């Protein structure tokens, strides 16, 4: 990445827009989505911008443009329509150490404006570093179609209830509580328009100390990562990685696939280490089951297709006997991947004198 995506706080802060024409109006429309104090620096404003000043939503700065105009501003947009004037004002803003966007001059932009999907307070920003703005708009359109307009309302309700959750739901149960809110009954009701019933279900769960009984049990997902590249993971595999509290993986699954996992998920490596013995299969299974019994959502991640390993089914049998939920998520496997996996298994057997936990044949 050449630009780091970040949200900038606007509450109680100024955003300076230099210019009074259509380009400035375009930036003003964007900033109107926030609660920033908008300052329009121009001797004359077009009717749209004048209306913002008349209603008190913005203020006009008619005086000289100097460093003080940009002091403590969250950001500035420069859109006078004149390349030379824009460059001069950019230099003044940078002297004030203000982050600047100069319209149609990417080399003078310290910040760029992304395509935005707005489900306030849920906001998704899509950027391509200026390389493919049409693609960014296409992605925005797809997300607009996929995300219900009401989604922000559920997030806002969750924000208002966070204090109550902190008081009534024990810390170890909170993550599962919020997963239940956003993945199960409350969200389903909310998206059907039954917002009152959804909010009542959430409040009852808070009063009772957590998600309804049966949702706080641990679960295990045995996920096949295919060749290990993240763009070849199935949608369900990505979902399970993003829900996981603990992830067990071997070296073959690849760090690439783990990039899609929840950032704060615990990662436990169980593959071979040079100069040391690999974890025994039974020890791995015991640790996986122990984490699930604690109520964690556990993922075991390995290359290939999880439905083709006897280890997955052995783990499934032990877990179900323990009353734990188990899901086996197949992975995409190509012929070349299967050949490599087979060769690796043979090599590992010869070197270690034992079977590879993850690649053990189903018939074995």
Cα 182 from chain centroid (whole Å): 14
- Peptide linkage before 206 cis (omega within 30 of 0): no
On whether the CB atoms of residues 237 and 253 are closer than 8 A, the answer is no
The per-residue b/e assignment along 247-267, b for 16 or more CB within 10 angstroms, e otherwise, is bbbbebbbeebbeebeeebee
- pLDDT tens digits along 9-46: 999 999 999 999 999 999 999 999 999 999 999 999 99
On whether the CB atoms of residues 150 and 157 are closer than 8 A, the answer is no
On whether the CB atoms of residues 327 and 222 are closer than 8 A, the answer is yes
Pairing of strands 115-119, 122-126: antiparallel
**Percent of the chain having pLDDT more than 90?**
52
DSSP string, 36-99: PEEEEE-SS--HHHHHHHHTTSEEEE-S---HHHHTT-SEEEE--S-HHHHHHHHHHHHHTT--
Give the residue with greater pLDDT, 179 vs 254.
179
User: What is the pTM for the complete model shown?
Assistant: 0.61
pLDDT of residue 334: 61
Task: Give the DSSP H/E element, type plus range, for residue 116.
Answer: strand 115-119
In this prediction, residue 214 has a pLDDT band, given cuts at 50, 70 and 90, of low
- pLDDT tens digits along 74-97: 999 999 999 999 999 999 999 999
6 phi and psi angles, rounded to 5 deg = -155, 145
> Among residues 260, 1, 256, which one has the least CA distance to residue 128?
1
Q: What is the DSSP letter of 322?
A: T
In this prediction, residue 362 has a pLDDT band, given cuts at 50, 70 and 90, of very low
In this prediction, residue 151 has a pLDDT band, given cuts at 50, 70 and 90, of very high
In this prediction, residue 209 has a pLDDT band, given cuts at 50, 70 and 90, of very high
- pLDDT tens digits along 328-353: 888 887 654 444 444 444 334 333 43
Q: Quick check: 201 pLDDT over 90? A: yes
pLDDT of residue 124: 94
Give the residue with greater pLDDT, 272 vs 160.
160
> Among residues 218, 245, 249, which one has the least CA distance to residue 320?
218
In this prediction, residue 358 has a pLDDT band, given cuts at 50, 70 and 90, of very low
């Amino acid at each position: 990445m050449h630009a780091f995506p970040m949200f900038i706080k606007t509450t109680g802060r100024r955003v300076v827009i230099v210019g009074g024409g259509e380009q400035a109006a375009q930036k003003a429309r964007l900033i109107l989505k926030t609660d920033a104090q908008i300052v329009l620096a121009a001797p004359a404003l077009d009717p749209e911008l004048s209306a913002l000043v008349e209603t008190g939503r913005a203020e006009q700065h008619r005086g000289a443009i100097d460093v003080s105009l940009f002091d403590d501003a969250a950001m500035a947009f420069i859109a006078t329509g004149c390349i030379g004037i824009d460059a001069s004002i950019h230099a003044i803003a940078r002297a004030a150490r203000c982050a600047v966007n100069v319209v149609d001059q990417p080399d003078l932009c310290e910040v760029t404006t992304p395509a935005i999907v707005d489900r306030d307070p849920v906001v998704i920003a899509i950027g391509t570093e200026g390389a493919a703005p049409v693609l960014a708009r296409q992605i925005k359109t797809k997300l607009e179609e996929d995300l219900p307009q009401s989604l922000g309302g559920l997030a806002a309700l969750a924000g208002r209830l966070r204090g109550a959750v902190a008081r009534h739901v024990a810390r170890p149960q909170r993550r599962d509580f919020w997963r239940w809110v956003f993945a199960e009954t409350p969200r389903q009701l909310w998206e059907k328009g039954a917002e009152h019933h959804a909010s009542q279900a959430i409040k009852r769960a808070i009063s009772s100390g957590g998600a309804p009984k049966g949702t706080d049990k641990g679960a295990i997902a045995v996920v096949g990562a295919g060749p290990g590249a993240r763009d070849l993971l199935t949608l369900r595999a990505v979902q399970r990685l993003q829900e996981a509290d603990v992830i067990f993986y071997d070296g073959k699954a690849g760090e690439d696939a783990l990039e899609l996992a929840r950032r704060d998920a615990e990662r436990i490596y169980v593959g071979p280490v040079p100069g040391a013995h690999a974890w025994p299969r039974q020890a791995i299974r015991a640790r996986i089951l122990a984490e699930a019994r604690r109520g964690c959502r556990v993922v075991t991640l390995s290359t290939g297709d999880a439905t083709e390993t006897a280890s997955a089914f052995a783990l499934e049998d032990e877990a179900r006997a323990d009353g734990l939920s188990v899901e086996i998520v197949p992975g995409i496997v190509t012929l070349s991947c299967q050949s490599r996996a087979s060769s690796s298994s043979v090599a590992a057997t010869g070197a270690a004198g034992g079977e590879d936990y993850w690649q053990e044949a189903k018939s074995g």
